[in-house]
Amino acid sequence: MVAAQLFNQRHGEVIETVYGAVTTGTEWKFLKLSGKKIWIDKRDYFINEVSHILGILTIPFNKSYPIEE
């Protein structure tokens, strides 16, 4: 996420927030990088919650959805 942030800055593309997901395939974690602050969701999500995981993955594309800090 930091690498993506730096890459975009060096190419004149300032992106306020970079979103990330880490998965083992069955377990998921979600992150958000804004400036120099990182937010890591403390909850683990599991593949049996696939509709919840897909909902979280759509959040960066939905500007009207408030994201907790």
pTM: 0.78
Classify 20 as helix, strand or coil: strand
Q: Residue 11 falls within a domain, yes or no?
A: yes
Question: Are 38 and 20 within 8 A, CB to CB?
Answer: no
Backbone phi and psi for residue 6, each to the nearest 5 degrees, phi listed first: -65, -45
Question: Are 39 and 23 within 8 A, CB to CB?
Answer: no
In the predicted structure, residue 43 carries a pLDDT above the cut 80: yes
Total domain count, the chain: 1
Tell me the H-state helices in the chain.
Answer: 2-10, 50-58
End-to-end distance of the chain based on CA atoms, in angstroms? 17
pLDDT band at 67; cut points 50, 70, 90: low
pLDDT of the residue at 57: 94
- Which CATH number do you get for residue 54? 3.30.160
Q: Which domain holds residue 16?
A: 2-61
